[in-house]
Structure 1
């Protein structure tokens, strides 16, 4: 987890008197925190600024609403939900001056927890409201993705470009069953056809070709609700961590995968780790998932951008 560093004043350019825009996902965490929203908004209002709840009926609308709120003069952006909600909100504040507060209320809350926010939503909101009242924020890095067609996206936690991304892609194509069983079935289906794929990685100036099953690039350490896939990643060091799991067969992958929760998988002889500022990943037929959200097709170039977002902490 990120160590708390000295506080900064809110970045110059953030409108001091604008509303606090709030993106809330009522379905995050299977809706278990839905009833908390009025209390969370009330706690935010103690910062002495108007609170504006954004409306959206889809992920794309949510992202557009965040961008519009920032463009219209929001003094801060707060995301209530899991990593997917945070991911959408980050697209509006990355590289800018409007500070951001993630409130962990989803199934996976890796970015918020890894950057030092309490895991309980009310406690996280209290931290954000206090930071707003005191006019302080803390910068952390983000990863900038650039696709082959020039599309730019940002992420805060981890980009998956191997087995986990392939499983997500299959699960998203399935219409039955609903709920977590769909993901479980997608894992079984992809395990049955598991094969290493040829990747070309460019790590700063070093080019590597490798046959691999797992490829992940972390700005933070964890994804998927606490799986420490890149256990040594630090979102304040200006670098990205790369974890490559090589020619795993099914039995070995099943045996090693639970070790990811503790981060000890990196000690396996088939796992290799790297660290770089800029990384290009190329492979055939892979759609990446960043912060758990469907993202860009390979090839992509990933760049660590220091102090890319100012957290209300």
Structure 2
């Protein structure tokens, strides 16, 4: 076997985690075609049954422990995030079929944006026994709890908005998130953060804090535009004492990554990030994650992607 050749033993199945509600269900009918094309990779295919996030994580871990030839996630960044918890740090190769509202990790790491083209790419990699290593970020709390993420961890205004939206029972759908933005904009105030970057301490007031293994989150917002998931480093972007008007005005620039030129924005790069602030629950890959304080560590080649 050559380096990057992860040809599994014959007969071991490819486990598939599919989220039928990803992308508001617009790719729901694609699953039979996805499974047919994956079978062209020469392995039996097994769909994992799960109805909640907790169940999904459990069945992914079980599939990996049972010797799955590979794990494939069909959905958006949230589905990918769940699957990563099982394959991170293992030799089990992973494929991402971008079928969600936000597909930042899949696209940033080289999977085609079209779901069926991505499936064909994954099937070819399975057939040829090829994979490509990429970095992941490992989050650890003071009590030893840990999680992995692939794209971006938010620990500022975006995380606060998500937390507000998750607590709301009305309205339903995207309007709930829009209302949460309005509520938190009215309450906007910079928070005091302590950052330790490879042992160097920074005390600062900030409205935005993001730690990126990849460049984008939220469906293409390039919050950490220079992040590279193969360099063994994390990119940290901090937006300082923004007021409401400044934050609203700057948001469109995040899609292009030009916000880093704003005088209140600072960028850093480090292997290890220790992050602390009061009353903040982080969101990683768009999913509710761990409360601060946390330590985030860049982990080179923690994941093997089914790419040529």
- Both structures adopt the same fold (TM-score exceeding 0.5): yes
The answer to whether 1:8 aligns with 2:40 is no
Alignment counterpart, residue 249 of structure 2, candidates 247, 250, 255: 255
Aligned to 2:224: 230
Question: Aligned partners of 1:135, 1:7: CA distance in 2, in Å?
Answer: 11
Partner of residue 3, structure 1:
none
Structure 1 equivalent of residue 37 of structure 2:
43
CA distance in 1, matches of 2:228, 2:48: 31
Kindly report structure 1 stretches of 4+ aligned residues shifted beyond 3 Å. 14-17
Give yes or no for contact 1:7–1:138 (8 Å, CA) kept in 2: no
Cα deviation, residue 15, structure 1: 4.8
- TM-score, scaled to structure 2: 0.98
Pick from 19, 32, 46: which aligns with 1:52? 46
1:162-311 to structure 2, matched below 5 A, reads 162-311=156-305
C-alpha offsets along residues 32-86 of structure 1, whole Å, 9 cap, x if unaligned? 0000000000000011110000000101100111000000110000000000000
Q: Deviations over 1:115-139 (max 9, x none)?
A: 0111111000000000000010000
Q: Deviations over 1:204-227 (max 9, x none)?
A: 021000000000000000000000
> Secondary structure of the equivalent of 2:102?
coil
Secondary structure of 1:88's partner?
helix
Structure-1 separation of matches of 2:32 and 2:244: 47
Structure 2: any 5+ residue segments left out of the alignment? none
1:80-91 correspondence runs (5 A): 80-91=74-85
Deviations 1:106-165 (A, max 9, x none): 000000000011111100000000000001000000000001211010000000000000
Which residue of 1 is the match for residue 104 of structure 2?
A: 110
1:68 to 49, 62, 71: 62
Q: Give SS of 2:248's match.
A: helix
2-structure distance, mates of 1:259, 1:179: 26
The DSSP-based 3-state class of the residue aligned with 1:279 is: strand
Distance 2:174 2:40 in 1: 38
Q: CA deviation at 1:8?
A: 2.0
| Structure 1 unpaired stretches of 5+ | 1-5
TM-score if structure 1 supplies the norm length? 0.96
Q: Is 1:15–1:74's contact at 8 Å kept on the other side of the alignment?
A: no
SS in 2 for 1:9: coil
Describe the superposition over 1:262-301 as per-residue Cα deviations: whole angstroms up to 9, x where unpaired: 0000000000000000000000000000000000000000
- CA deviations 1:171-197 (Å, max 9, x no partner) are 000011111010000000000000000
* CA distance in 2 between partners of 1:262 and 1:118 (Å): 20
